[in-house]
Amino acid sequence: MVSNVGFHDEATVWNFLLYDVPLVRFLDDTIEVYPATPSLYLSRDCTAQSFHMQSTPGCYTIGTRTAADFNKLNFTHVQGRIKTIFANGARIMAYQWQPAQSDCISVAWQTNGPRPEDFNFAVHFTNGKGEEIVNR
């Protein structure tokens, strides 16, 4: 994904450095990806051995990530509770709602097989009458 190139200095630098890597995905702090097969993962989590770049502040760490790294323990599984498969193939697996800490909801979902398109999610909260209260 190169949509940030030219607008975000860090994405521009990494897109140049990783020009021959077949699939590069830039994530913000609200998105985590756990691929089915082991993939290289470059992060700002500098608790392990890390390196610094002259052009950007902070440090980076390279590791790997797979679907097995996803911690499902704090999530509520949704099998049979709601419609879990959408027309684009995205399937909701679980959610985590933390109203006391931050009023945040995390949604765990997956697709079957590689998809060329990116996915976006909107969560709609409705009341007992079916009226939308809020969406994010």
Highest mean pLDDT among 36-40, 49-53, 86-90, 116-120: 36-40
Whether pLDDT at 5 is above 60:
no
Q: Which two tokens stand for residue 112?
A: 């079957």
The sign of the dihedral angle between the CA atoms of 43, 46, 47, 48 is positive
pLDDT for 22 beyond 60: yes
Task: Please tell me the distance from the alpha carbon of residue 44 to that of residue 83, in angstroms, as a whole number.
Answer: 36
Instruction: State the Cα–Cα distance between residues 29 and 135, nearest whole angstrom.
Output: 19
Burial 2-16 (b: 16+ CB within 10 A, else e): eeeeeeeebbeebbe
More confident residue, 114 or 70: 70
| Percentage above 70 pLDDT, the chain | 77
Whole-prediction pTM: 0.64
pLDDT at 1: 42
